[in-house]
Amino acid sequence: MSRIAYRPLLSTKVTLAHGSGGVETEAIVENLIVKLVPEALRKTPGGVGLDALDDGAAIPVPGGYMVFTVDSYTVNPPFFPGGNIGSLAASGTINDLLMMGARPVAALDAIVVEEGFEVARLREITESLVKTLAENNVALIGGDFKVLPKGQLDKIVVTVAGIGFAKKLIVDTNLKPGDKIIVSGPIAEHGALILALQQGLEPKDLKSDAKPLTDLMLPLVEKYGDYIHAARDPTRGGLAMLLNDWAQSTGTVIVVEEEKIPVREPVRAYAEMLGVDPLTLASEGVAVLAVDPSKAEEVVEEMHRLGYKQASIIGEVRRAERHRGIVLLKSVTGGVRILEPPSGEIVPRIC
């Protein structure tokens, strides 16, 4: 089942909300990109493309699939506790390939900076980008560099395209009723930090969680690839957007328990103070998996062994009886509510 519902564009002009990863972003993608591409050209034969809107696209090759992904990073501020836009771009690209079941192999970058940007700061960014790729055995094989006149760009934009190889793909539309939903660790760390910094705060107890998940995903895919039916990192729009995407694309109902979702207390406190739901805030170093129930507990134990000690099962996928494509949240008080996909300016320029 395709998740392309063609949400209407409710604005005549692009707003910051269209870039925040919520329903407005999906409306842009669906109406101004996917809808314009002839259906026959949305993917290659036997591959994955715009038909799935997953973390990447795939082309079949002998022995498996070449997997491709591309993303532009425009985080504000570009330097933050735990990293900078360079390490963030490399980590995000690597993670998008991993979530498709691919081993990252190579990357290309395109950097656009504003006239007057400090060369020392640019060097720091490129060094961290290259270092992150190198630590994960990903070759940087090409790229581009441009400068715009002062005032025509705010600081810097980094785009990274990634290439990987998968013997077998993880495609989110393969999510099945009965699957257990697993998160690898505490959510919303990156989003809470960036939002606090944008509000002029200097949080001492927050740090971006941005990092590649190579050490987690490659062993899991090798050992449990046949049982992982969906995988994604909850970036823009957070866990709430991810789960709604999954439910809508498969026509299922996903039920999660609030008390089982790991959120550190400082993150929860800042989110409450700033008036946002941590479930809508981005994580840049967290994996969310849908795993066959027969192997879910074993997968969690393996994640613990790999160093992800707070990995836990937070819910399950259920067959829809009346309402399809929704997410239900069991609250800590015992009630149940629909977890809506985020809308509006969640955190602009977060990644």
For the cut 90, the answer to whether the pLDDT of residue 53 exceeds it is no
Confidence band for 3, pLDDT divided at 50, 70 and 90: very low
Over range 219-226, report the average pLDDT: 98
Output the CA torsion 270→241→102→252 (10° steps): 140
For the cut 70, the answer to whether the pLDDT of residue 20 exceeds it is no
3-state SS assignment for residue 323: coil
Question: Which tokens is 350 given?
Answer: 């977060």
Which pLDDT does position 348 carry in this prediction? 78
Between 58 and 22, residue with greater pLDDT: 58
Neighbours of 225 (CB within 10 A): 15
Name which of 79-88, 295-304, 326-335 the model is least confident about.
326-335
Q: Are 93 and 130 in contact (CB under 8 A)?
A: no
pTM of the model: 0.92
Q: What share of the chain is helix, strand, coil (3-state, %, to 5)?
A: 30, 25, 45
CA atoms within 13 A on the CB side of 119: 0
Q: Do domains 58-166 and 172-338 have the same CATH topology?
A: no
Neighbours of 126 (CB within 10 A): 17
Q: Are 188 and 68 in contact (CB under 8 A)?
A: no
**Could you report the per-residue pLDDT of 278-303, keeping only the tens digit for each?**
999 999 999 999 999 999 999 999 99
Which pLDDT does position 10 carry in this prediction? 60
SS (H, E, C) the chain: CCCCCCCCCCCCCCCHHHHCCCHHHHHHHHHHCHHHCCHHHCCCCCCECCCCCCCCEEEEECCEEEEEEEEEECCCCCEECCEEHHHHHHHHHHHHHHCCCCEEEEEEEEEEEECCCCHHHHHHHHHHHHHHHHHCCCEEEEEEEEEECCCCCCCEEEEEEEEEEECCCCCHHHCCCCCEEEECCCCCHHHHHHHHHHCCCCCCCCCCCCCCCHHHHHHHHHHHCCCEEEEECCCCCHHHHHHHHHHHHHCCEEEEEHHHCCCCHHHHHHHHHHCCCHHHCCCCCCCEEEECCCCHHHHHHHHHHCCCCCCEEEEEEECCCCCCCEEEEECCCCCEEECCCCCCCCCCCCC
Distance CA 159, CA 328 (A): 35
Q: Map out the domains of the chain as residue ranges.
A: 58-166, 172-338
pLDDT above 70 covers a percentage of the chain that reads 97
Query: Crossing angle, helix 189-198 and helix 265-274, to 10 degrees?
Result: 40
Distance CA 315, CA 317 (A): 7
Number of residues written out for the chain: 351
Confidence band for 347, pLDDT divided at 50, 70 and 90: confident
What are the CA-CA distances from residue 232 to residues 38, 49, 115, 151, 203 (Å)?
27, 16, 36, 36, 28
Which pLDDT does position 31 carry in this prediction? 80
**Could you report the per-residue pLDDT of 171-205, keeping only the tens digit for each?**
999 999 999 999 999 999 999 999 999 999 999 99
Which pLDDT does position 201 carry in this prediction? 95
Which pLDDT does position 12 carry in this prediction? 80
Q: Which helix (H) or strand (E) holds 80?
A: strand 79-80
172-338 sits in which CATH class?
alpha beta
For the cut 50, the answer to whether the pLDDT of residue 4 exceeds it is no
CATH code of 58-166, in short, is 3.30.1330.10
3-state SS assignment for residue 312: strand
Between 311 and 19, residue with greater pLDDT: 311
Task: Write down the mean pLDDT value for the chain.
Answer: 93
Closest CA to 171 of 239, 102, 108: 102
For the cut 50, the answer to whether the pLDDT of residue 1 exceeds it is no
Instruction: Give the pairing type, strands 326-330 and 228-232.
Output: unpaired
